[in-house]
Structure 1
Amino acid sequence: MGGVKAVILVGGPSKGTRFRPLSLDDVPKLLFPIAGKPMIYHHIEACSRVKGITEIILLGFFPENQLSAFIEQSQKELNVPIRYINEVKVLGTAGGLSRYREQILQGNPDYLFVLHSDICCAFPLEDLLNFHIKHKRICTIMGTRIQKEYANQYGCLIRDENTAELIHYAEKPETFVSDMINCGVYCISPSFFDIMAKTTKDLQESLQNVTLDSYPEITKKGFEQGRLRLEQDIFVPLAGTNSIVVYPYVGFWRQIKNAGSPVYCQELYLSHYAKTKPELLAKGDNIIGNVVIHPTATVDPTAKIGPDVYIGPNVKVGKGVRIFHSIILDETEIKGHACILYSIIGWRSEIGFWARIEGVPNYTPFLYSQDKRKGITIIGAGAQANGEIIVSNCIVMPHKQLDRNYCNEIIL
């Protein structure tokens, strides 16, 4: 059969808190809308455009019923087979690939893409595939350069500029290693599964005989629980063995970690739409810059919308409303003359007359900064803000009633 497959690592319900309060609703993080489409849709749509693609596999441990409707709809829209492999337990980014090797390699694909779901970029998959074929290694990592001061928050790559070989890999190093980071997008040959199995076996034997100080990135506990991480457990020992090359990507890239990051990622996608899919953007005298408005939303012609705004299904926007750099989710009502800036307004919420909801933007690559003075304001699902109040740089839990001014608070 041959051809190309894609595996998107979607993970599962998080035990952490970084995507709260948005993760407290019934919508899985990977289906959260960014620029009018579910987060994972951007990956799938890019994969569907690759010549010779035979199947897209979502690999993770979300309950299958949470994804089935989205998968069915996307298959029809993009005319590409999509399958969900439901992990029986948390196996890690490489553990799932190893466990379901036979299912993934059904049909004997010539090449496979592996993508993390929590990233935002242009996904130049055709170029990545051509680079992988040209260099004839078992794995190609897509890397990009960012500001030096943020690099150690990611997986850092040292690349031979002549051969493109990965010489050294360090996951979130304590000191500066390189300003080229791992984008979380890979192209692999089927033989990578054999190398991954051998590397795993070698590491398991090594961990029986050496202290963990020899492999600081690797945890023995993880191995004992059957978890295997692609970056730390596989790439670290394979670096410098002439097995992996790095494709230098030049373009926008962000990681989607905390609840505010969709606003920044949306701006990047909307700017990309303006160049590649301008038909998706709203037009009108009241529209400024790049905006997506769902056809079922009602927006008063006196409202000013944009730039960088998404207005979801069945949203109502009243007279004189001002919205920019924000996401307004389904069935929310923004009443007359309210102002929404750098915010996400959750599903079925209500913002009163003349209310002002605003965040304090923090434009850095490391989107889950500890700077509490800056951040997107997040209003949880079903919350209500009274008229004429100001909510600035706050996180609001679902179904809260806001009846006074708030600033720099978490409203439980």
Structure 2
Amino acid sequence: MYPSKFKALILVGGFGTRLRPLTLTKPKPLVEFANRPIVEHQIEALVKAGVTDIVLAVNYRPEVMAKAMHDYESRYNVKIHFSVETEPLGTAGPIALARDVLLADATPFFVLNSDVICEFPFSDLAAFHTAHGGEGTIMVTKVDDPTKYGVVVTKGGSSVIDRFVEKPQIFVGDRINAGIYIFNPSVIDRIQPRPTSIEREIFPAMASESQLHCMDLEGIWMDVGQPKDYLLGTSLYLQALADRDYALAQAAVTSSAASSATSPTPVPSPSPVASSPYRHSRTASQAKPPRLVKIAGPPLCRLPFVKGNVLIDPSASIGEGCKIGPDVIIGPGVVIGDGVRIVSSVIMEAATIKDHAFVKRSIVGWHSTVGQWARLDGTAVLGDDVHVVEEVYVNGAIILPHKEVKACVLSPQIIM
């Protein structure tokens, strides 16, 4: 039986340069993903798995982080500690720096990167780790093209990691490090409080002693630390919500059918979910029950102007004749004018999209405005309080906060 209480360390890191211009306004963990800060998804999942103490390893704007974390402490009934780095310590050094908290008892602790989005199966990971008895376990996820990553190779089909192969040009495997770990406290003896890479220095040493195992991560996984991956992660997350809703509805249908078989009073079944526009790929003859997706999030929006998987905050205002989706998230207080088309995009809090604008594969930052008949495309990213005037086309531009765009931007560039 694995312990019922754990600790965790989240590698919050530095400046979030890959996600600029959004991180010029907020530290990356506080940038919203699906209308909640990225780090809140992680904190919520950790607390559900029995984590009572969370260490945030921070070296950028800790005072901003502290204010938000105070709210999370009371909301989730968890103690949040700050480990402030005077210099960047890499991915292993912060573990040694937080030793006083992590070594307060003899229980294992989780470590995770701050920009990972997945189902966060921490309880399953803890049980797997306890069962094999090794010093550490990393979660791995399968990728289509392993030549772009460091690949995890195991011994003889077991969970024991043999070695890591960086960007292999011949096939050695298709599983990569997912950025989520659990360790026994003894791992801290391997790490000094100096700049250290857990992937390049600590993991190979543990693997050489057969003390490092891996566990497959089911479901979605994405590092959302840069705009194109943030948008792809949004699409995957919304599909996971749709899969979850579909599986729950199918379970309800099955339960109702079973109840009808034993009850003299017929119980009406819900309308078939397979015909829903959110589940084009499902067929009525599908025999295998869907996997219950363990992901948190509100139900998807199902309104006449919505196409595909869309999440809209209840406080947003949507005009007449709009078409929104697929793969769109609209944040709190957003105002959408009449005749607007939005596809594969994220519209953040208090932004305004005026009449007949078209937004595709883009991120519209907080308090920004897209003018009438304007068009965004090509992974354009508007920072905080950016204003695109009417009838302007913006293609792939990164626009820093508090700017006004008065002319078309025809090719990707940074507007400062």
Both structures adopt the same fold (TM-score exceeding 0.5) = yes
CA contact (8 A) 2:96 2:188 kept: yes
Q: Residue in 1 aligned with 2:179?
A: 184
* 1:97 match: 95
Q: 1:155 is matched with which residue?
A: 150
Partner of 2:274: none
* Kept in 2: contact 1:3–1:111 (CA 8 A): no
Q: 1:124 aligns with which of 112, 121, 125?
A: 121
Q: 1:95 to 1:58 in 2, by over 3 A?
A: same
Q: Show the counterpart of 1:3.
A: 5
The whole-number CA distance in structure 1 between the counterparts of 2:310 and 2:68 is: 23
Q: Provide the C-alpha distance between the structure 2 equivalents of 1:143 and 1:84, rounded to a whole number of angstroms.
A: 27
Per the TM alignment, residue 281 of structure 1 is displaced from its structure 2 partner at its CA by 2.7
Q: Aligned in 2, Cα 1:65/1:379: closer, same or farther, shift over 3 Å?
A: same
Find the aligned partners of 2:350 and 2:381 in 1 and give their Cα distance. 16
Q: Helix, strand or coil: the match of 1:126?
A: helix
Deviation at 1:183, TM superposition (A): 0.6
- Aligned residues of 2:327 and 2:345 also touching (Cα < 8 A): yes
**Counterparts of 2:52 and 2:94 in 1: how far apart (Å)?**
20
Change (3 A) 1:296 1:253: same
Q: Which residue in the other structure is 2:262 paired with?
A: none
- Once the two structures are overlaid, the 10-residue window that deviates more, 128-137 or 40-49, is 40-49
The CA deviation at 1:278 is 6.5
CA distance in 2, matches of 1:396, 1:175: 40
For 2:212, the equivalent position in structure 1 comes to 244
Q: Deviations over 1:41-78 (max 9, x none)?
A: 2211111111x322222122133221123212222333
RMSD: 2.3
CA deviation digits over 1:212-237, x for unaligned, max 9?
xxxxxxxxxxx9xx211111111122
SS at match of 1:57: strand
Deviation at residue 343 of structure 1 after TM alignment: 0.5
Question: Which runs of 5 or more residues in structure 1 are unaligned?
Answer: 201-222, 360-375
Equivalent pair of 2:320/2:338 in contact (CA under 8 Å): yes
User: What secondary structure sits across from 2:227 in the alignment?
Assistant: coil
CA contact (8 A) 2:10 2:113 kept: yes
Aligned to 1:315: 334
Bigger mean CA offset, 297-306 vs 86-95: 297-306
Q: What is the alpha-carbon distance in structure 2 between the residues aligned to residue 125 and residue 81 of structure 1?
A: 18
Residue 263 of structure 2 is aligned to residue 268 of structure 1: no
* Deviations, residues 77-110 of structure 1 (Å, cap 9, x unaligned): 333332222223211211111122122222x051
**What TM-score, normalized to structure 2?**
0.81
Task: List runs of 5+ in structure 2 lacking aligned partners.
Answer: 245-294
Contact 2:300 2:311 in 1 (8 A): yes
Shift of 1:341: 0.8
Residue identity opposite 1:340 in structure 2: V
1:277: Cα distance to partner? 5.0
Q: How many Å separate the matches in 1 of 2:119 and 2:172?
A: 26
- Counterpart of 1:386 (choices 389, 396, 403) is 389
1:348 pairs with one of 347, 364, 367? 367
2:83–2:97 CA contact under 8 A, matched in 1: no
